[in-house]
Amino acid sequence: MADYTTIRAGTAGARAARIDEGLRAHMNKVYGTMSVGMLVTAGVAWAVGSSPALLSIFRDPATLQPNILGWIAMFAPLIFVFVIGGAINRVSAAGLQGLFYLFSALMGLSIAWIFAAFTGISIAQTFLVTAIAFASLSLYGYTTKRDLTGWGSFLIMGLVGLIVAMIINIFLGSPAIAFAISIIGLLIFAGLTAYDTQRLKVEYVAHAAHGDTEWLGKAAILGALSLYLNFINIFMFLLQFMGNRE
């Protein structure tokens, strides 16, 4: 009986070790894919935003107000998120990764104007602050023993309200509403960073136990997309406070 118990304990321990090792590899892929997406976004944004000729295709050079193509570029990433969601069961993990990088390029196009509106130093400083804040929040979500599941519905409802408020303020142009949106947006995406990190960890453990390798490959891309969106939004909201205008 003792030998059987020892064998069972050893088997369970080995299985847990494999899951832990797989979890680390999975999260490394999530962060790695997200990082490549950030590089694509930064490259496209800088290339377009630092070229007056290219930027003028999407925005008025003097006021930086978007034209028709500019509005399309602004909303294209949001629409593309739904495209990626609808393609999950139709494409391979490699195809999903390609869609994510295409999305990253579209996001770079939509925020290219910041290189004409803000100084390069303030953009770099804001990025550094965002990276530190994001890493801290994600680390908290990964290591905390507290169950963050209850945050999900609250944060999603807040996100929907935030998007509605942002669309309304496009037409109102109220600085007070814009300020409130930035504050609330920072809080929402800070919470989502911790929540999404824990969610990715929990989902991996659940699916790894059933050997669902196909799902895990795609989950890493979707996880990268979730964390990427959190990072970008934290950065853009912080830029409203930290950015120095040209």
* pLDDT given at position 126: 95
How much of the chain exceeds pLDDT 90, in percent? 50
Mean pLDDT, range 193-213, rounded to an integer: 83
Number of structural domains found in the chain = 1
**Is the confidence at residue 19, as pLDDT, over 90?**
no
* pLDDT given at position 78: 83
* pLDDT given at position 1: 45
Question: Whole-prediction pTM value?
Answer: 0.87
Mean pLDDT, range 155-183, rounded to an integer: 88
**Is the confidence at residue 8, as pLDDT, over 80?**
no
What whole-number distance in Å separates Cα of residue 52 and Cα of residue 207?
49
| 199: Cβ contacts below 8 Å, ≥ 6 apart | 148, 149, 152
Mean pLDDT, range 204-212, rounded to an integer: 72
What whole-number distance in Å separates Cα of residue 242 and Cα of residue 128?
11
Mean pLDDT, range 209-229, rounded to an integer: 82
* pLDDT given at position 99: 92
What whole-number distance in Å separates Cα of residue 7 and Cα of residue 222?
37
Is residue 126 within 8 A of residue 243, CB to CB? The reply is yes
**Is the confidence at residue 216, as pLDDT, over 80?**
no
Note the pLDDT tens digit of each residue in 72-124: 988 888 888 888 878 787 888 888 899 999 999 999 999 999 999 999 999 99
What whole-number distance in Å separates Cα of residue 3 and Cα of residue 222?
43
**Is the confidence at residue 39, as pLDDT, over 70?**
yes
The one-letter code for the residue type at 24 is R
**Is the confidence at residue 9, as pLDDT, over 60?**
no
Mean pLDDT, range 223-243, rounded to an integer: 93
What whole-number distance in Å separates Cα of residue 220 and Cα of residue 93?
9
Mean pLDDT of the chain: 86
**Is the confidence at residue 208, as pLDDT, over 90?**
no
Task: Give 118's strand partners.
Answer: 245
| 217: Cβ contacts below 8 Å, ≥ 6 apart | 93
**Is the confidence at residue 176, as pLDDT, over 60?**
yes
* pLDDT given at position 60: 84
Note the pLDDT tens digit of each residue in 40-67: 999 999 999 999 999 999 888 888 888 8
Write out the residue range of the structural domain in which residue 173 sits: 2-242
Mean pLDDT, range 149-176, rounded to an integer: 88
